[in-house]
Amino acid sequence: MNKRKVRTFSATDRDMDMLEAVALYHSFSKSATIVNLIKKEFWRIFPAGTDAVPPDTGARIEEESFNASNS
């Protein structure tokens, strides 16, 4: 089991209000909300993972093909 580490970050009061609203909407803690948003963005940018973060075993990998119409 991985041992969790305490992390800190800086945010404006407005940023924290937005985080609280999103966390409340999804019924998550603020910490879980941040982690879920980071995971979603990570897999959007790196659908096949990276050297340090490979996809989970059995994960379906779909890579988007970008073309001029997506710009």
Give a yes or no: residue 36 inside a domain: yes
- Asked whether 15 and 23 are in contact (CB, 8 A), the reply is no
For residue 32, is it within any domain?
A: yes
> From the first residue on, what is the mean pLDDT of each consecutive set of 10 residues in the chain (71 residues)?
81 96 97 95 94 90 58 47
Residue range(s) defining the domain that contains residue 23: 13-48
Domain-embedded: residue 70: no
Confidence (pLDDT) at 71: 47
Distance CA 3, CA 47 (A): 26
The verdict on residue 34 lying in a domain is: yes
Q: Write down the pLDDT at residue 64.
A: 61
Give me the count of residues in the chain. 71
Q: Is 15 in contact with 8 (CB distance < 8 Å)?
A: no
Q: How many independent structural domains does the chain possess?
A: 1
CA 39 to each of CA 32, 33, 50, 51, 55: distance values in angstroms, whole numbers, following the listed order: 10, 10, 13, 16, 12
Instruction: Give domain status of residue 18, yes or no.
Output: yes
pTM of the model: 0.70
